[in-house]
Chain A
Amino acid sequence: MGLTSGLAGLASLRGLALAAPVPVFAVAGFGTRTAVQDLRLAREIELVDTPRAAALLLIAGSINPAHAEALARVHDQMPHPRATVLWGGSAVPAPFSPEVTRVPWGEDPTPAAREIFRSLLNGSRATEPPLLPDVDPVEWRGVGPYGQGGSGMTGGTPYGRPMAELAPDRDGLRLDALPLEIGPFYPRLPAGLVVEMTLAGDVLIEVAVPAGLDRPPDEGPRRPIPASPFERALTEPVRIAELELARARAHLRWLSDALINQGLVALGTRALRLAHDIGPGDAPRIRAFTRQLGRTGLFRWSLPHGQGVGAERIAGAGLGPLSRAAGLAEDVRTEDPAYRALGFRPVVMAGNDVPAWWRVRLAETAESLDLAARAGEADTALVGRVESPRGRLEPDDSPTARALPLVPELLTGLEWGDAMTTLTSLDLDLDESVTAASPALAATA
């Protein structure tokens, strides 16, 4: 093979690669969760689970400044050639260069992503250098008998890495335990959620959620744009049809993420597509989809049974589907005369575990669409609190803020897969919690 044909081969390789869907690792900042989720439907973009598979880092909205370093670490894990795109958001997180490409909020980031991808592969745009210095977490050079930073067999910090500690496992043996922190950009968790855990084998023996996760970003909007109907319902009457359609869509969006966690990526995309397609009166479609999910073995072999918290423990907490799956008929809508006039009755089940949470949400999705079809022009009559898809939402209190303290007790003792399933099945939304805690909103209420 001559030089020219070799070059031609390389050129055609590049030509082929240029037409590939852009592999994007997307990070959803405050209030951008649904927009980032919708990128999964974009044909030009391929959302990837790990920065190692990405060419572009898409940062949507404003990031909690406490997570800027973690974000830089995500950036540095991407293979060259790589680039960053900022979508909406007002501030560039600290280690990132201010010259990062920006796409205004409300504009589709796909053309910009495609253009940057093209210039990266062409070589007309230089790949981004690492943002963080390459330093060891602990100074170790020259320490110890071999200069490896350790001492003896299990002492010191060889090569800057602490040795494992022992912890009892469930069989009564004392074995190495692995401390691990996942988040704030773990693809299966809502953006911003951090879970600190200690693993003994595949079992979580210690779980903690650090405080301050629902701190609002320093700059940029404090509320999602546009405001969700649930948020508006706190201060003004809202069409019930609109509210219930939004509830069905929120449940389907949760379902999409949760299905992907169970390995059903195509069906998860289908759920996301449904979230866009459905309208009032589409309840039969949801019921058909529910039946299809039943045939995947989801409830039989994929979701852990009997892993809920006690009903008495969450009584009065207003955790929406979680409460109702524990047999508690807690629903703000029952207090609303407008809903009562429609003959609304909450979906209550008695499973109190992950499959029951799923069943309640699926049943509520269909019920909401029925309600939306029946409600006509009716408005909500109750102002000041509202039943969000996750539970009772009040100006200074959100269901996510109330559910977060349950995470450690729910996850401790579970196998990793079950723990991740339980975590995604909780449907936590830190944005909602930030908005509820935001003083601006509390003042208007």
Chain B
Amino acid sequence: MIPTPLVDAAFFVFAAGAIVTGYRVFRTDSMVRAAFYLLASFSAVGGILVLLGSEFLGMVLLLMMAGEMLIMAIVMVMYMMNPAGLNPMTMVHQNRVAAVAGLAAFLALAAVGLLGDFPDRPAPQPALATEELGIELLGDSMLVFQTAGVTLLSTMIGAVAIAGRRGRSGSAEDGSIEPALQPDEEDAA
């Protein structure tokens, strides 16, 4: 087993990394950089999950997020007017309200974490954890697992139907109204 001080050090590195990169997501001009910062944040959380003994979840999180963030970067480059962030932009609204809400959420949840009284019943060794999860997935929670699968399938079908050129009801181009684009200066102001 890895000695505890090493685990502690790793946790602090991962936690600081997750929070800093998570914050950087909203503080960078380039969309691709934002996606990569978010991926870094997820990777750090994946690392913490592994430290906590939930190896399977940590690795699955990494596996999932790598693909997801690549798609996210591509989607942003596709649709953003200024994906490289060449022109400085502040694409935020209600900044103050949002900051207060974010801080309030943090304080409330942290208070719960600090003040809450959680039972001290540690989980078993990782090997057992993975095995137990497998048995749970295909045993008692089979219904949940299958529901998740069906949900994903219907999501796939729904997403294709929404995004496709031939939309849910006929061609997406028919009968659509294109809004007048506001002058760009107004957006930046």
What 1/0 flags go to B155-189 for Cβ under 8 Å of A?
Answer: 00000000001000000110000000001111110
The A contact surface, by secondary structure, is: loop
Interface residues on A, range: 20 to 34
Contact A158 B188 (CB under 8 A): no
One of B88, B165, B184 near A148 (C-beta < 8 A): B88
Contact A163 B188 (CB under 8 A): no
Interface residues on B, range: 10 to 19
What is the minimal beta-carbon distance from A253 to any residue of chain B, in angstroms? 40
Contact B78 A153 (CB under 8 A): no
Contact A150 B78 (CB under 8 A): no
Q: Does B28 contact A (CB under 8 A)?
A: no
Chain A residues, CB < 8 A from B81:
153-154
Determine the residue in chain A with the shortest Cβ distance to B183: A152
Within 8 A of B (CB), among A6-24: none
Within 8 A of B (CB), among A150-176: 150-156, 158-159, 161, 163, 171-173, 175-176
A171-B165, A172-B173 known; A152+B187 contact, CB < 8 A: yes
A158 to B85, CA, bound (A): 10
Contact A163 B173 (CB under 8 A): no
Q: Does B95 contact A (CB under 8 A)?
A: no
One of B79, B89, B173 near A153 (C-beta < 8 A): B89
One of B87, B165, B172, B183 near A150 (C-beta < 8 A): B87
Chain A residues, CB < 8 A from B82:
153-154, 163
Q: Does A106 contact B (CB under 8 A)?
A: no
Determine the residue in chain B with the shortest Cβ distance to A162: B86
Determine the residue in chain B with the shortest Cβ distance to A169: B78
One of B78, B172, B184 near A175 (C-beta < 8 A): B78
A145-B188, A163-B82, A172-B173 known; A153+B165 contact, CB < 8 A: no
Contact A158 B86 (CB under 8 A): yes
Contact A151 B184 (CB under 8 A): yes
A146 to B78, CA, bound (A): 25
Chain B residues, CB < 8 A from A152:
87, 183-188
Of the A-B pairs whose beta carbons lie under 8 Å apart in the complex, a sample of 21, sorted by A's number, is A146-B88, A148-B88, A150-B86, A151-B184, A152-B87, A152-B183, A152-B185, A152-B187, A153-B81, A153-B87, A153-B188, A154-B82, A154-B87, A155-B184, A161-B86, A163-B82, A163-B86, A163-B87, A172-B172, A176-B78, A176-B83
Residues of A within 8 A of B (CB): 144-146, 148, 150-156, 158-159, 161, 163, 171-173, 175-176
